[in-house]
Amino acid sequence: SYGETVTKDMIDDMAKKHFPMCMRNIHNALRRDRQMKHQGRLQYTLFLKVLGLPIEEAILFWRESYANDQKTQDKFNKEYKYNIRHSYGLEGKRANYPARDCRSIITGNPPGANESHGCPFRHFSTSNLQSALSALYGVPSLSQDMSDILNAVEAKQYHVACTRVFELTHDNQGMAEGESVSHPNRYAARSRELERE
Ligand code: SF4
């Protein structure tokens, strides 16, 4: 983070401008379904923490993101809130949990039905990936860029595919010299850095 506080109201906009596909996928699923399974919540909570979202804002963000019925809100108060505080090191072992890096996300448990965690480059079918690249990042379906990305995925070079998407959406500016995407928070930080330049 830049020592600047991120608030819950900034997240929709930041997701569009600065988040890698794994986090945009989770964000959009949360907005669409108004619920999120455990692994997705964990992946996103830790990412938002490292992005600079303070605990109070995180609790408000998640509470508002969830459906507003009594059953869900009871579950929120009994269980989800504890899990969020746990991710911030405020419960249990009080460990300062890091956000997951690409390697851990890519090699971790693949998402099952109704789950949104994971890395879209690794875990989406080719056709879903292609649609998501067009819809979320404006990569034209039949373009050379699309072929390059899908070829990288085919070769299991997921970080290369993700780096290419970063470049395409940042006027061909990339990560730092010789760097490819290895952490979702690094992706977001670099994107915010370029916006400031
Ligand atoms: Fe997220 Fe990393 Fe996959 Fe990019 S390569 S979508 S940052 S897990």
What is the average per-residue pLDDT within 81-97?
Answer: 93
Q: Does the CB atom of residue 118 touch ligand 1 within 6 A?
A: no
Q: Which atom of ligand 1 is nearest to the CA of 184?
A: 7
Choose the residue to mutate in 105, 156, 163, 175 for probing ligand 1, maximizing ligand atoms within 8 Å of C-beta: 105
Average of per-residue pLDDT values in the chain: 95
32, 52, 87 - which closes a domain: 87
| Domain contains 164 | yes
Task: Point out the ligand 1 atom lying closest to the alpha carbon of residue 159.
Answer: 5
Residues 78 and 109 in one domain: no
Q: Look at ligand 1, atom 7, and give the residue with the nearest C-alpha.
A: 184
- Does 74 lie in the same domain as 15? yes
> 56 and 118 share a domain?
no
R_g of the chain computed on alpha carbons: 17
**Residue 95 covered by a domain:** no
Pocket mutation for ligand 1, best pick of 18, 19, 21, 104 (most atoms within 8 Å of C-beta): 21
Residue 97 in domain: no
| Confidence at residue 186, expressed as pLDDT on a 0 to 100 scale | 97
Q: Are residues 76 and 45 in the same domain?
A: yes
CB 37 within 8 A of CB 110: no
In-domain check, residue 83:
yes
Mean pLDDT of 152-181: 94
Question: What DSSP line would sit under 6-25, residue for residue?
Answer: P-GGGHHHHHHHH--HHHHH
Determine contact, residues 36/26, Cβ cutoff 8 Å.
yes
pLDDT for 5? 86
Q: Which residue is listed with tokens 């085919």?
A: 154
Residue 84 predicted with pLDDT over 80: yes
- pLDDT value at position 1? 43
Closest residue by CA, ligand 1 atom 4 = 162
Ligand 1 center to 78 CA (angstroms): 31
Backbone angles phi, psi at 60, to 5 degrees: -65, -45
pLDDT single digits (tens) 23-45: 999 999 999 999 999 999 999 99
Task: Please tell me the distance between residue 108's alpha carbon and the centre of ligand 1 in angstroms.
Answer: 12
In a shared domain, residues 118 and 179: yes
Mean pLDDT of 36-57: 96
Q: pLDDT tens across 115-128, in order?
A: 999 999 999 999 99
106 and 62, same structural domain? no
Look at the chain and report how many structural domains it folds into.
2
Q: Output the pLDDT for position 45.
A: 98
Question: Would 156 be classed as within a structural domain?
Answer: yes
For 182, the domain range is 102-196
- Pair (141, 165) in one structural domain: yes
Q: 30, 63, 87 — which closes off a domain?
A: 87
Q: Are residues 79 and 149 in the same domain?
A: no
Asked, for residue 1, whether it belongs to a domain, the answer is no
User: What secondary structure does DSSP assign to 40-109, as a single string?
Assistant: HHHHHHHHHHHHT--HHHHHHHHHHHS--SHHHHHHIIIIIHHHHHHHTT-STT---PPPP-HHHHHHSP
157 plus 187 within the same structural domain: yes
Same domain, 123 and 60: no
Last residue of a domain, one of 29, 55, 87: 87
In a domain, 128, yes or no: yes
| Same domain, yes or no: 60 and 141 | no
Q: What is the reported pLDDT for 64? A: 96
Kindly report which listed range (27-41, 100-114, 172-186) carries the lowest average pLDDT score: 172-186
In a domain, 2, yes or no: no
Write down the ipTM of this complex.
0.99
User: Binding site annotation covers 162?
Assistant: yes
The answer to whether 107 is a known ligand-binding residue is: no
